[in-house]
Amino acid sequence: MPDANAYIMNLMKSIIIACFVCCAMILSSCGQSTPTNNSNTTPMDTSNQKPNNPYYSHTDTTKLTLSDATWKSILPTELYEVSRHKDTERAFAGKLWNFEGIGTYYCAACGFPLFRSDAKFASTCGWPSFFEILHKNSVEYQPDNSYSMNRTEVLCGRCGGHLGHLFDDGPAPTHKRYCMNSVALDFEPDKKEVTVNEQQHDTITLGGGCYWCVEAVYEKLKGVISVESGFSGGTTKNPTYKEVCEGTTHHAEVVQIIFDNTITNLDEIFKVFFTVHNPTEVNRQGHDVGTQYRSVIFYRNHEQQVAALSIIKALNDAKVYDKPIVTAVEKFTEFYKAENYHQNYFENNKNEPYCRMVIQPKVEKFEKAFKDRIK
Ligand SMILES: [Zn+2]
């Protein structure tokens, strides 16, 4: 352990007290045109949504049944014609047909997650093409016998909006080709890709009980660029908060922290982590009980893994807590952002009893222990 940890020991002893509860036209023409081959990866404005679309959500899985008039009022004209009237954009005309950014593709009409960039392939048809959908409910299918052809239409699994067609001439492993209208898709780059300077910025994902609490604290730490509340470590893709609460997804409530290494560092991130939650409780924090509240560090690389194991050993050796630390150190696989109302929960709900009684004391404890490190 680096000698800096002597400081942690003393710090921990003085500040760790009983933690409270926390907290796609005719696509048969594909391949007959000659595409220009300048694929691009530059993040760009690929958003086709209108800012006043109140139904747009990446996490809401409730089926949308809206009147044609409502759709017309909330969608841009081109999207409305494709999504609601099965129009098809011209080949090679959309923003995404040769786009290669890393991230997720959503239904532009309702925000529902549809495809990941790693399922996109370079197709010469002039429309964005994927060999696989993101999850089994992402889309729905229906026979399309228009233009005297037998095709399979692909519709959004949430809003039923027309996306394109499905063909059996895609690449391995599925040999499927989801031939989509570019205008029907929104692309959002993975968070890491938008990081301005990857050498200075680092990301860590931590589970310390209720994410409202942990997020509230890290939002205040100098050097922290962003904190998002969400779920990691489980088996269900794109889980909802409700599913996670039921305890069957195996996800933990986590915060994903992007920080500037020149202002803070892993050591300090971990110090804060072990200060604001009780790492000796198995699958609970105070009155919040369940595997979703487990104490866990999801590491992205060897350095993070070693740092996490080191601090845990040091804290155990120094008997900072009266019981052994149970914090799991697991390899990061995926982070699913929680519904929007979970983000910045403490800031937006300061008068709620839970915030005043559970989160506020944790924030105050953090502010006291790290008073020189507050933004
Ligand atoms: Zn949709």
Question: For the segment 301-315, what is each residue's pLDDT rounded down to a tens digit?
Answer: 999 999 999 999 999
* Ligand 1 center from residue 338 Cα (angstroms): 19
pLDDT greater than 50 at residue 75: yes
Q: What is the pLDDT of residue 346?
A: 84
* Ligand 1 center from residue 238 Cα (angstroms): 15
CATH class, 27-189 region: mainly beta
* Ligand 1 center from residue 56 Cα (angstroms): 8
pLDDT, greater one: 347 or 141: 141
Among the ranges given (83-87, 150-154, 259-263), the one the predictor scored with the smallest mean pLDDT? 259-263
User: What is the C-alpha separation between 21 and 289, in angstroms, rounded?
Assistant: 9
pLDDT greater than 70 at residue 53: yes
360 confidence band (pLDDT: 50, 70, 90): confident
Which residues pair with residue 221 across a beta bridge?
374
Q: Name the catalytic one among 156, 159, 179, 213.
A: 179
* Ligand 1 center from residue 71 Cα (angstroms): 11
Q: Which residues surround ligand 1, an ion (CB under 5 A)?
A: 107, 109-110, 112, 156, 158-159, 161
pLDDT, greater one: 162 or 362: 162
* Ligand 1 center from residue 111 Cα (angstroms): 6
* Ligand 1 center from residue 106 Cα (angstroms): 8
* Ligand 1 center from residue 166 Cα (angstroms): 17
Q: Name the catalytic one among 125, 210, 213, 355.
A: 210
pLDDT, greater one: 6 or 167: 167
* Ligand 1 center from residue 96 Cα (angstroms): 17
pLDDT, greater one: 19 or 70: 70
- For every residue of 200-213, DSSP letters joined together read TEEEEEEEES-HHH
Q: What is the pLDDT of residue 41?
A: 54
210 given a catalytic annotation: yes
Q: What is the pLDDT of residue 342?
A: 84
pLDDT greater than 70 at residue 281: yes
How large is the average pLDDT for residues 138-162? 96
User: What is the C-alpha separation between 346 and 4, in angstroms, rounded?
Assistant: 31
Report pLDDT digits (tens) over 312-355: 999 999 998 999 999 999 999 999 998 888 888 888 887 888 88
Cα end-to-end distance, the chain, whole Å: 28
Among the ranges given (25-39, 135-149, 355-369), the one the predictor scored with the smallest mean pLDDT? 25-39
* Ligand 1 center from residue 110 Cα (angstroms): 4
* Ligand 1 center from residue 139 Cα (angstroms): 9
Q: What is the pLDDT of residue 17?
A: 32
* Ligand 1 center from residue 159 Cα (angstroms): 4
Q: What CA–CA distances, in Å, run from 353 to 210, 218, 225, 349, 350?
A: 15, 21, 28, 9, 8
367 confidence band (pLDDT: 50, 70, 90): confident
Give percent of the chain above pLDDT 70: 84
Beta strand ranges found along the chain (DSSP E) = 103-107, 113-116, 120-121, 129-130, 139-144, 151-156, 162-167, 177-180, 185-189, 201-208, 224-232, 252-260, 284-285, 288-289, 295-299, 328-331, 335-337
CA 174 to chain centre: 26
51 confidence band (pLDDT: 50, 70, 90): low
pLDDT greater than 70 at residue 197: no
User: What is the C-alpha separation between 86 and 346, in angstroms, rounded?
Assistant: 43
- In 3-state terms, what secondary structure has residue 180? strand
Q: What is the pLDDT of residue 191?
A: 76
> Which CATH fold topology does 8-22+209-373 show?
Peptide Methionine Sulfoxide Reductase; Chain A (3.30.1060)
* Ligand 1 center from residue 119 Cα (angstroms): 19
* Ligand 1 center from residue 304 Cα (angstroms): 38
How large is the average pLDDT for residues 94-107? 93
Contact 46, 97 (CB under 8 A): no
Q: What is the pLDDT of residue 326?
A: 96
Residue-averaged pLDDT of the chain? 84
Q: What is the pLDDT of residue 36?
A: 39
User: What is the C-alpha separation between 82 and 68, in angstroms, rounded?
Assistant: 13
198 confidence band (pLDDT: 50, 70, 90): low
35 confidence band (pLDDT: 50, 70, 90): very low
Q: What is the pLDDT of residue 315?
A: 93
Give percent of the chain above pLDDT 90: 63
Domain boundary assignment for the chain: 8-22+209-373, 27-189
How large is the average pLDDT for residues 12-33? 36
pLDDT greater than 60 at residue 50: no
User: pTM value?
Assistant: 0.49
How large is the average pLDDT for residues 66-83? 96
In degrees, to the nearest 5, what angle opens at C-alpha 45 toward C-alphas 40 and 49? Answer: 130
Q: What is the pLDDT of residue 10?
A: 47
Q: What is the pLDDT of residue 173?
A: 92
Q: What are phi and psi of 164, to 5 degrees?
A: 165, -145
How large is the average pLDDT for residues 132-145? 96
Q: Tokens 């989160």: give the residue.
A: 359
Bond preceding residue 35 cis, omega within 30 of 0: no
Burial letters 214-242, b for 16+ CB under 10 A, else e: bbbbbbbbebbbbbbbbbbbbeeebbbbe
How large is the average pLDDT for residues 353-366? 83
179 given a catalytic annotation: yes
